[in-house]
Amino acid sequence: MSEPSTRNRRPGIELSSSPEEQRGGLPVVIELAPRRPRQEWRSRLAALAVLVMVGTTGVGWLWWQHHQPRLPPGITWGNGRIEADEIDIDTKFAGRIAALFVDEGAFVKAGQQLARMDTRDLEASLNKDEAQARQAQKTLEEARANVEQQKAQVRLAQQELERSQFLAPKGWATKELLDQRRQQLDAVNSALAAAIAKVGQTEHALDAAQHQVELDKVNIADNTLVAPRDGRIQYRLANIGEVVPAGGKVFTMLDVASVYMDIYLPTEEAGRVKVGTEGRMLLDAYPNFPIPAKVSFIAAQAQFTPKMVETKTERERLMFLVKVRIDPALLRAHAEAVRTGLPGLAYLRLDSNVAWPAWLQSKAAQ
């Protein structure tokens, strides 16, 4: 028997010839399972991979939960970043920058020179005012000498008057001469009073000139910018040769003695926090070194208020800003190690009777 034709076969159907069929029977049609497309197998592999990832994540989360340190009741926490108070180093007068002594990132001490402005104009004014002060001093010396001269004239006129008064009763001096001596004494007394007043006037002029000299020196000194506190230069905002206006910023520095972390707590926990509440900070960069701190500020208003009319559920979503500040004495002892922007966690002890866990015991003093 000839082999059946395959021209009209359909996919998934196979014609088979058994011995019986070869003896006169018809071919048997056998249905084959359809072949699965390659995309379906890829989808199954992707689903399997997702399941593996989810399982691994779940196991990791359970492991983290199991190994995460437990906080006792009475201690809460919030996350934030280390920040420090910023101090702007500004110019007092408009002028040109003559020199810069530090750059960004430099650690500076209180009183250290940071920049100097061009003070040639102020120095010229200082020289002029010093010359005027010297002139006022000379004028004062002259006025005092004139006072001494007038005093001598008064003494002479007094003596002549006394002689005339002795001689006139005896007829040895005329009454006219006696009147002249009296007028002469009155004139020299008036001249003495004027000389004394001139001394007071020149003294005031000398004081004014000296104060102007002191003002010039203060203005020149104020054109040298110094660090008001220990800190680190964060930004340099001007270059040598630039002309800046009065109050123009040259540097921005961070006060390393005023370092804090802002965290947000819900209403229930924020209501139990007080200024002075003891805390601990754990930075991501130093997870094994708790830093002692205290609450220095609590916001009076919620930072996130959904509506003016609050339901109980919405009140639970209100968050209050709490500022946790590190002890300034501790910061001064480790000033050069202070860095801002580091993320971490701040823990607050709401109940003073609760002891800190061992992993939050302060090691700062060690």
Is there a single domain that holds both residue 275 and residue 215? no
pLDDT at 128 over 90: yes
The pairs formed by 5-13 with CB atoms below 8 angstroms and a separation of 24 or more are none
Is there a single domain that holds both residue 155 and residue 185? yes
**181 assigned to some structural domain:** yes
Helix (H) or strand (E) holding 87: strand 75-90
**Would you give the end-to-end CA distance of the chain in angstroms?**
102
The domain in which residue 333 lies consists of 75-84+257-360
How much is the pLDDT for 173? Answer: 75
pLDDT at 129 over 70: yes
Q: How far apart are CA 342 and CA 286, in angstroms?
A: 10
Q: For the chain, what percent of residues have pLDDT higher than 70?
A: 76
Kindly report the number of other CB atoms within 10 A of residue 282's CB atom. Answer: 20
Is there a single domain that holds both residue 96 and residue 236? yes
Who's near 74: CB < 8 A, 6+ residues apart? 349, 350, 351, 353, 354
pLDDT (average), residues 93-101 = 95
Q: How far apart are CA 303 and CA 264, in angstroms?
A: 8
How much is the pLDDT for 52? Answer: 52
How much is the pLDDT for 244? Answer: 95
Is there a single domain that holds both residue 137 and residue 218? yes
Strands 224-226 and 95-100: unpaired
Instruction: Share the mean pLDDT of the chain.
Output: 81
Q: Find how far residue 119's CA is from the centre of its chain.
A: 28
Kindly report the number of other CB atoms within 10 A of residue 316's CB atom. Answer: 11
**Number of domains into which the chain is organized:** 4
**212 assigned to some structural domain:** yes
Is there a single domain that holds both residue 183 and residue 130? yes
φ, ψ at 139 (rounded to 5°): -60, -40
pLDDT (average), residues 179-194 = 89
How much is the pLDDT for 300? Answer: 87
With beta carbons less than 8 A apart as the criterion, state whether 192 and 151 touch. yes
pLDDT (average), residues 123-135 = 95
Is there a single domain that holds both residue 276 and residue 353? yes
How much is the pLDDT for 201? Answer: 92
Could you tell me the CATH number of the domain that includes residue 283? Answer: 2.40.30.170
pLDDT at 121 over 60: yes
Is there a single domain that holds both residue 92 and residue 139? no
Is there a single domain that holds both residue 215 and residue 265? no
With beta carbons less than 8 A apart as the criterion, state whether 202 and 136 touch. yes
**40 assigned to some structural domain:** no
Is there a single domain that holds both residue 291 and residue 210? no
pLDDT at 318 over 50: yes
Is there a single domain that holds both residue 154 and residue 8? no
Per DSSP, 72 falls in state P
With beta carbons less than 8 A apart as the criterion, state whether 122 and 219 touch. yes
pLDDT at 183 over 80: yes
**46 assigned to some structural domain:** no
Q: Is residue 256 packed enough to be buried (19+ CB in 10 Å), middle (13-18) or exposed (0-12)?
A: buried
Q: Which two tokens stand for residue 248?
A: 């123009």
How much is the pLDDT for 96? Answer: 96
